[in-house]
Structure 1
């Protein structure tokens, strides 16, 4: 049996928010030292990507459910470019009166800090030489860090043949300081929330393109870090996503030699967060054999359902906007109108959050609790979503807008929303099954579910926003059903004040020429 995770438990408890801890933090932002929003390699020329991307006409809900185009004959640079754009590209710009500017990206990120980086380990990609490439959304380029086909090395690190048999594998990493500049030690949670949110876009886009994505959360960390040329402390690997039709296996090669390239400094100085470093180091896997053993973990048994379930309307995966348009419109809603959602709309969003993930370990480690405030046909109150039955398990009835706002760090969004989703996990049971790395799993799964809720909301014409929370207060609010659980993430859903897709007065950046 994989041993329980005391480091993860300690990290989670030490970084929990409470009304007292938030008021006593005293943390002030050093705006003169804010990290630069893009990682830029200064000693490698950039390969400018094609200015043409796929329109992604597949309905967003269908793509979330795994539907899409027929598998192509092979992976092309055009398809890879579309995937990179819709998961990590720049989609919106906000200009401030004083001249400042923020570039918003396809997937939401805590504080719009965008610490998730994307690397491409390419082998058989038509139009792209083999090697390890870094994607820079700022100038829409790939920079080649290694010249050899490294897929076999990545397959060995993942203890699975798939990365060696696909045209490419995307590696998501987290640049710790870009997020911890604002959020300090709580950043370790954010790395996986935001990585999961980006994966929601990536999985749907890859499905729409017929690229048969497969996610890996188990891998030899040091081997992946060495392959990318990152230090494994200030920048860490989060997940692998293999895409494209199967190819002949990549030829075996000697272990990759160390690489080191010059990059633009993030800021004048970096402040390290020991708790983040400890949590990540403790959850690392050292050998392929460790990876295989770790994958043998099994999800905890779900909480028994109540006596009476409320069936939700069957979702229509063809309803709503196409995926490409949905991602272009998506933004974090900053004000809800307190007007109701239809129960079918809510049901579709809940269905989307819980679609199966094609990956190396089971999902279902996170439960979706809900405070419903204004849903037509549903009494206000609290519920637990039963994904297996696509039904709601009633917990309590009542008007809980005020309580929901309080739980979300006293932010009005949590109470103004039509429904606020609280992602909870039986964390100790997950750590018993998956060890320290189980902490990565629950935060990644919650972020992915929240990202899918975003996509479903914007596909159907309403809004969404990810929120942070008072940890213990959330669990207390959902007792007794939530006994033994921990709060992981929150997503609020509702009608936005103002037009959805024009949130915050943003200007949409025209995508590179889009092809049908």
Structure 2
């Protein structure tokens, strides 16, 4: 790991005596527009099924459900609707804003999606598309030369996920890079789950260096007032395709494409954050060797056999406050934690082909059957107690799960203190700190730094859904005092680093807000 990335990580920490460098106050005149659009680009209207037309909730985590659905306008529309679409509009005091299926820090949504659809799916030519969640439509950025372009591997579709750092930096300053990568992890989980419901799998492609991916997606040319960077290229298609590869003819077609539409300006002006820009350059992935994507078998038995998936995806909300009274059972907590184990949930954790690097520190407040206190879920490594932490009890609490009691006691005030004094962390049933095997992962290169946040985002997305499935709510917490978490654990080095916090409980909703449907009507394809 380079000293530049280590320096950014230290700079972007929140401390009790001072927060990471940020704007201090919000400049509402420069608030970024919430939706990227390409003016002048042709629109393709997408559609979606009623939410009740859905597979079971538990089915999707074990792997693709049923036979793969044919690649078509209908199936691509459903994929986007269930992963990145709007879930509702909210209004209060004359203000109106959108909520989305994929969570985002501060509801700022830096993540954009671009699709490469093969010839004959949406039209005779292959297409490079940009997804417009506000319209549930696709903008045609380029028509690809189908004469020289072979079909995509395994008759699948490519999806590039990009980030616009300014959207987060407007509010969070230098720490924004962390939040962009959290959001990318949430989006990866959303795509994995939505694809599984269609009988498809998702694989992270490693064949292209990220700067080259910028060029192929049309993000490196002139006209972008605010920088946008491609962070991940996904292949989505039939699980019968074991090792998708990018054909040179496809890459040539993308490289020679004539791009349509002008990107909109998101703010009248923006502020540069030097460390943010530097870590963005430093952590871009090079071309990497292919991974073995064999997913681990052994998904757990369905815990919620009567629940269906899609209503939960579109019902998910981030709680703004918890009631401080509701509790859960130890049985429910164990079901949640089992869902977070990669061996039990190939979807979404098999998407990168990389081993888990994140464990969980649990602050248990109100869990019937478990003593309040600090617990550790060893979801990475071999599940053994972790060395290098201070002298904890490490009492194994479950035969099937590597769950350990570290220390008994009331941890509510501690959870709130560590999460920048936010009461929501102490008012839930429990709070979670996600700790990554920092130095170990980053020995492979600086490009592994953002991917640790991706894994945290994937964990967070499953916690959101598990809470919703239980009639409760969750929320991600990006503001926490990094050094205090490390001090609590007795960490004297950077082997483990806290990268994301989360809390779950019964939400208290603001009744002053009104809610409207995400889209005016359900749009079905022509018969």
* TM-score of the alignment, normalized to the shorter chain, above 0.5: yes
The equivalent of 1:300 in structure 2 is none
Q: Which residue among 98, 115, 130 is the counterpart of 1:120?
A: 115
Deviation at residue 243 of structure 1 after TM alignment: 1.3
Query: Is 1:455 the equivalent of 2:465?
Result: yes
CA distance in 1, matches of 2:420, 2:363: 15
Relative distance call for 1:349 and 1:152 in structure 2 (3 A) is farther
The equivalent of 1:345 in structure 2 is 332
* Structure 1 gaps, min length 5: 156-161, 297-313
Q: How does 1:360-509 map to 2 (within 5 A)?
A: 360-387=352-379, 389-432=400-443, 434-468=444-478, 469-479=480-490, 484-497=495-508, 506-509=515-518
Relative to total residues, which structure has the larger helix share, 1 or 2? Answer: 1
CA distance in 2, matches of 1:511, 1:219: 39
The equivalent of 1:95 in structure 2 is 91
| TM-score normalized by the length of structure 1 | 0.85
Q: Retained in 2: the 8 A contact 1:61–1:352?
A: no
Aligned length: 480
The equivalent of 2:60 in structure 1 is 63
Relative distance call for 1:96 and 1:438 in structure 2 (3 A) is same
Q: Which residue among 198, 204, 208 is the counterpart of 1:209?
A: 198
Deviation at residue 270 of structure 1 after TM alignment: 2.2
Deviation at residue 111 of structure 1 after TM alignment: 0.4
The equivalent of 2:390 in structure 1 is none
Deviation at residue 350 of structure 1 after TM alignment: 1.9
Deviation at residue 203 of structure 1 after TM alignment: 0.7
Relative distance call for 1:19 and 1:319 in structure 2 (3 A) is farther
Q: Retained in 2: the 8 A contact 1:226–1:258?
A: no
Deviations 1:38-67 (A, max 9, x none): 001002121111254664522323323325
Relative distance call for 1:26 and 1:268 in structure 2 (3 A) is closer
The equivalent of 2:19 in structure 1 is 22
Partner SS for 1:435: coil
Deviation at residue 390 of structure 1 after TM alignment: 2.1
Deviation at residue 428 of structure 1 after TM alignment: 1.5
Partner SS for 2:446: helix
The equivalent of 1:278 in structure 2 is 278
Relative distance call for 1:45 and 1:514 in structure 2 (3 A) is closer
The equivalent of 2:4 in structure 1 is 7
Q: Retained in 1: the 8 A contact 2:210–2:232?
A: no
CA distance in 1, matches of 2:270, 2:421: 30
Q: Retained in 1: the 8 A contact 2:143–2:257?
A: no
Deviations 1:172-208 (A, max 9, x none): 1101111111111111111110111122221111101
Q: Retained in 1: the 8 A contact 2:360–2:376?
A: yes
| TM-score normalized by the length of structure 2 | 0.83
Q: Retained in 2: the 8 A contact 1:151–1:250?
A: no
CA distance in 2, matches of 1:108, 1:152: 39
Q: Retained in 2: the 8 A contact 1:61–1:456?
A: no
Partner SS for 2:333: helix
Relative distance call for 1:124 and 1:45 in structure 2 (3 A) is closer
Deviations 1:200-234 (A, max 9, x none): 22111110110122234673112210111113981
CA distance in 1, matches of 2:115, 2:132: 11
Comparing 209-218 and 339-348, the one that deviates more: 209-218
Partner SS for 1:103: strand
Q: How does 1:9-158 map to 2 (within 5 A)?
A: 9-22=6-19, 27-52=24-49, 55=52, 57-72=54-69, 74-97=70-93, 99-123=94-118, 126-128=121-123, 129-148=125-144
Q: How does 1:168-179 map to 2 (within 5 A)?
A: 168-179=157-168
The equivalent of 1:327 in structure 2 is 313
Deviation at residue 107 of structure 1 after TM alignment: 1.1
Comparing 201-210 and 350-359, the one that deviates more: 350-359
Deviations 1:319-340 (A, max 9, x none): 4631101012100011212211
* Structure 2 gaps, min length 5: 293-299, 384-399
Partner SS for 2:77: helix
Q: Retained in 1: the 8 A contact 2:87–2:99?
A: yes
What is the aligned-residue RMSD (CA, Å)?
Answer: 3.1
Relative distance call for 1:266 and 1:360 in structure 2 (3 A) is same
